[in-house]
Amino acid sequence: MLNEAQVRPATFSQWQTTTRAPQPRLVNALADAINRAAKAAGRDLYLDPEEARRLAGFVPGPPPVTAVDVRRVIQQNENFTKSQKDALLQIIDGFEAQNTQAAEQQQPERSSPPPPD
């Protein structure tokens, strides 16, 4: 496969022993070679070239998951009745109260300053 991707064995060996990333053209060539070899072997395997570049560090990964406003999602959802929405929101209120109480219990108690002499 290295020959098909036109990668010298010494280059491949260097990749195994160093933290230096391969050149983008070699990453593309390896992805293509892997895909051709898998197809020739009748294997259901495909290495997306974009994924190969991401794994090699040339393309940033997916953006981090952002927080969702659960209350807004529930309130805007047309699949729930008003009473169902109210029940879900009450459950969320309970979770938030429990989390607040747990956080307060984890904080060290603040002592009052000593009275003046």
pLDDT in tens, the chain (117 residues): 666 666 677 777 776 777 776 788 888 888 888 888 888 888 888 888 888 888 777 777 776 667 778 889 999 999 999 999 999 999 999 998 998 888 888 876 555 566 666
Alpha helices in 1-117 (DSSP H): 9-17, 24-40, 49-55, 70-76, 82-106
pTM reported for the whole predicted model: 0.42
CA distance 83 to 61: 41
CA distance 34 to 27: 11
